[in-house]
Amino acid sequence: MKILGINPWIYDFAAFDFWLKPYGFLGLLSYIQNQGPEITYIDCLEKTIKKDKFGRREFYSQAIEKPPIFSQLKRIYKRYGKTPEEFEQDLPDKTFDYILVTSSMTYWYPAIFETLRIIRKKYPLTPLILGGTYVNLCYKHAKFNLDTKTFLCRNQDLKYLFNKLNLKYSQNHMLNTLVKYQCFYPDLPYLVFRTSWGCPFNCSYCAIKKLSSGFRNIPLKKLINYILDYSKKGIKDFVLYDDAFLYNTAYVKDFLSEIKKTAGNSIRFHTPNALHMRYLNKQVCRLMKETGFVNPHFGIETLEPRIQKDFKNKVNTSQILKGIDILKESGFTPGNFSFYLLLGYPGQDLSQLKKEINFLHKKGARVSLSEFSLIPGSEIFQRYRQRFSEPLLHNNSVFSLIEPSNLETVNKIKNYTRKLNREFD
Ligand code: SF4
């Protein structure tokens, strides 16, 4: 059996390869490949123009026409990654039994539709299967807008999909499958991996429970061998995609102790998905320092107790302050750890946000402002679902929930935060 797997473009006002890989999709393709089928893979985002010392890259981009809903915005809407001509040239002149396409951000759906249109033109008779985050979170929108010949595969449809492919399916085995990057990316500047799936929390702005239920760790020995293997192949930067890496303290201690013993200081870890401050303890933090965690990022979102409660109490301010002490005692000096604060959530007091930025800066933290976006399936989204049924409005670059009169203040706060962070450089 021959399968073509495709990761579509990004259409947006801004995009950067901040260690972006369609990890779930690559795991699924690896799981399929392990059972025999031949996989051909194309990533439309694999056209970049610059790379930094940690492997992060700037995408090649071209200006494209804005969807009418954004016509009033002065910003340039772009396609990130290969040109359509390059993508068409990459599509092999052979037949496939199935074509699998993934999707991520819900508001990138115009890019997905364009990818599907080009695929359909080239392979009019091949069964086309679309899965991923957009399909899981905006199923009705996808169903309404795509032709009935495209099979929409949500996570709960995977069993049916594997039946159709005449392959075995075990969710457990699939989630434990480690991505065979050498089969997908000839040039790999960094490696994205997970030690776990799922998250024990249920933050009101997050839709994790719709995408990944429960919490489970990947078998430790298998994972350690995998990391060492890629480290020997020359990969230096390893990027944790976990949603709750620190949650299972015993597993984390074993994982980091094993890495310390076997990999020494030959690798670096990055945490763009954020870590949970409430599970940071001295032993784990010291191990993080010793195993090469670079500028660990923690998701704290706000210091306001009322909002912390509304977000479902992931962390409180005393845990944050204790965590800062632990970080410093473990050798993470000022400017070498970061906190995500949310910018633009409903009813946010921007003057309070500025106070929080100042407070955290004085404590030695870099602040990463994370622009709030409404995620379908989250509790907060339910409050606004009538107004934001159009997925393009979920885009955090558009600031749909910020009053236009506050936009100037928002930009000032962003510039101010950058200025403070530069003081640590
Ligand atoms: S935001 Fe993070 S901590 Fe909260 S539910 Fe989602 S993944 Fe878990």
Please write the tens of the pLDDT for every residue from 176-216.
Answer: 999 999 999 999 999 999 999 999 999 999 999 999 989 99
Q: Is the CB of 201 under 6 A from ligand 1?
A: yes
Give the number of the atom of ligand 1 that is nearest the alpha carbon of residue 243: 7
Q: Is the CB of 207 under 6 A from ligand 1?
A: no
Quick one: 397 exposed, middle or buried, by C-beta within 10 A (0-12, 13-18, 19+)? middle
| CA neighbor of 13 nearest in space, from 112, 107, 142 | 107
Please write the tens of the pLDDT for every residue from 132-164.
Answer: 999 999 999 999 999 999 999 999 999 999 999
Give the number of the atom of ligand 1 that is nearest the alpha carbon of residue 205: 1
On the CB side of 30, CA atoms within 13 Å amount to 19
Question: Mean pLDDT in the chain?
Answer: 95
Q: Work out the end-to-end distance of the chain between its first and last CA atoms, rounded to an integer number of angstroms.
A: 52
Report the SS3 class of residue 368: strand
Give the number of the atom of ligand 1 that is nearest the alpha carbon of residue 202: 5
Could you tell me if 247 and 199 are in contact, meaning their C-beta atoms sit under 8 angstroms apart? yes
Q: Is the CB of 297 under 6 A from ligand 1?
A: no
Q: Is the pLDDT score of 81 beyond 90?
A: yes
Sign of the C-alpha dihedral computed for residues 284, 343, 357 and 304 taken in this order = negative
pLDDT at 403: 80
pLDDT at 399: 61
Please write the tens of the pLDDT for every residue from 365-406.
Answer: 999 999 898 899 999 999 888 888 899 999 887 766 778 788
Q: Tokens at residue 18, please? A: 């901040």
Pairing of strands 98-101, 237-240: unpaired
- Output the residue whose Cα is nearest ligand 1's atom 6: 206
Q: Tokens 């094993």 — which residue?
A: 258
Give the Å distances, CA to CA, from 390 to 206, 269, 394, 395: 18, 37, 8, 10
Please write the tens of the pLDDT for every residue from 305-334.
Answer: 999 999 998 999 999 999 999 999 999 999
pLDDT at 72: 86
Q: Among 106-110, 111-115, 263-267, whose mean pLDDT is lowest?
A: 263-267
Averaged over 84-108, what is the pLDDT? 97
pLDDT tier at 265 (50, 70, 90 boundaries)? confident
